[in-house]
Amino acid sequence: MDRRDALMKMFSAKGVKVNTNRGEAYYSKLKETMQKRLNELRNAPAASKVDINKVLEAEGLTRRDFMKWASAACAAMMLPASFTPLMAEAAELMNRVPVIWIELQDCAGNSEAILRSDAPTIDELILETISLEFNETLMAAAGHQAEEHLDEAMKTFAGKYLCVVEGSIPLHMDGQYGTIGAKGETFEEHLLRVAGSSAAVVAVGTCATFGGVPAAAPNPTGAVGVQDIVKGKPIINIPACPANPANITGTILHFVLTGQVPELDHLNRPKFAFGYRIHDNCERRAHFDAGEFVEAWGDEGAENNWCLYKMGCKGPMTFNNCSVVRYNSGTNWPIGAGHGCIGCSEPQFWDKYAQERPMADTHFKAPTGGVEKTVDEFGLGLLTVAGIGIGIHAAISAAAGKKEEV
């Protein structure tokens, strides 16, 4: 088996492939499950009083806009169009699922991106209707009052709420690099307590998923991600710095629809969002294929939005949907402003990828040749680079085969 075959095999391995068509039998069964779940939720008491229809009305959005959103959300989550009514219903029932949002060793950037800074598209509006039982950044209550509120929410919704975590967990010095509340609870204790009685844990942002910038070498505080601490609970990782609101809404919607976590890859990332590389759908991809590269900042290529690969863009080895969803409600994204991808949703991006360090300067083998080579050869050269990671993906996913079932 030559290298090319090996690569092809690797890419078509069960654990890596994103299956967008699973056949009728699968979807009709899924539909049934979802309908049952939604009926249950409809009969459950609303955890928050906010009604999505009223919110949409206040924002001047019509039912038609809402249904358009629902069909787009289906596509984003790789479900057939026939799921659109269910998706709309799920959005209306978002307020039945309580969410407790805790911040650990973080910069509040995810809270900023998700809850306050992004434009109110339907995605974000729906996110506003979730029953946010506890969030330190947004809550008016402070101190003891806040702690009481947290305890109460945890008791009332035990086993039902989603625990959303922002920030890493410092373990050095017995966790004394981060304590919370008047009682001086360490972040680790706090996380274990809140995650303990949750239905599932959603780690939001690269700090909560992989340790993030605090875990950068020499990792002075011993920072780790949620999955290193919480065991025996479903964990969904939504990395990126900051995480994209659309992916969080998608994940929560999936939970509303099925009561389960979405299909995950071996790094516990939802496949609907992290199934492709930035490079696969990049708006500058055509320039990569044509061999048109930015060679220096401010050159002809930079002015004409050519491919940033030679300037150190990490799009080819970064799994995320930024190139499709973009940021700030689709306003723009780093590559749109002419800056290469820094791979912020990958483990250890802060040490491995960082700034515009071209591939040649990293410990990855850069694809040789370039303009004169054919697209195929060039692409293959690249894949060997990405392949290091992807090979591991494949191996681990096969071992953790259980995650493949929805």
**Span of 211-219, 228-236, 276-284, 395-403 interacting with another protein by CB under 8 A:** 211-219
Taking the mean position of all CA atoms in its chain, how far away is CA 228? 18
Q: Does 133 bind another protein (CB under 8 A)?
A: no
Q: Find the shortest distance in angstroms from Cβ 308 to another protein.
A: 9
Q: What's at 381, amino acid-wise?
A: G
Nearest to 86 by CA among 251, 256, 261: 256
Please tell me whether residue 202 adopts helix, strand or coil conformation: strand
State which residue, 158 or 296, has the beta carbon closest to another protein.
296
**Span of 26-34, 60-68, 174-182, 257-265 interacting with another protein by CB under 8 A:** 174-182
Candidate residues 9, 54, 116, 365; the one interacting with another protein per rule CB under 8 A: 116
Nearest to 165 by CA among 181, 131, 188, 140: 188
Candidate residues 22, 31, 71, 136; the one interacting with another protein per rule CB under 8 A: 136
How many angstroms separate the CA atoms of 403 and 406, rounded?
A: 7
Q: Are 242 and 113 spatial neighbours (Cβ–Cβ below 8 Å)? A: yes
Q: Find the shortest distance in angstroms from Cβ 237 to another protein.
A: 18
Candidate residues 203, 344, 383, 386; the one interacting with another protein per rule CB under 8 A: 344
Q: Does 357 bind another protein (CB under 8 A)?
A: yes
Q: What's at 43, amino acid-wise?
A: N
State which residue, 187 or 255, has the beta carbon closest to another protein.
187
Q: Does 332 bind another protein (CB under 8 A)?
A: yes
* CA-CA-CA-CA dihedral for 204, 206, 208, 212, to nearest 10: -160
How many angstroms separate the CA atoms of 94 and 162, rounded?
A: 12
- State the number of binding residues for another protein (CB under 8 A): 69
DSSP label at residue 72: H
Q: Find the shortest distance in angstroms from Cβ 299 to another protein.
A: 9
Q: Which helix (H) or strand (E) holds 3?
A: helix 3-11
State which residue, 91 or 342, has the beta carbon closest to another protein.
342
Nearest to 164 by CA among 117, 122, 131, 123: 131
**Span of 89-97, 251-259, 264-272, 334-342 interacting with another protein by CB under 8 A:** 334-342
- Residue 14 burial class via C-beta count within 10 angstroms: exposed 0-12, middle 13-18, buried 19 and up: exposed
Residues of this chain that interact with another protein (CB under 8 A) are 103, 105-113, 116-120, 136-137, 139-140, 142-144, 146, 170, 177-182, 184, 187, 212-214, 216-221, 223, 241-242, 296-298, 302-303, 305, 327-329, 331-339, 342, 344, 350, 354-357
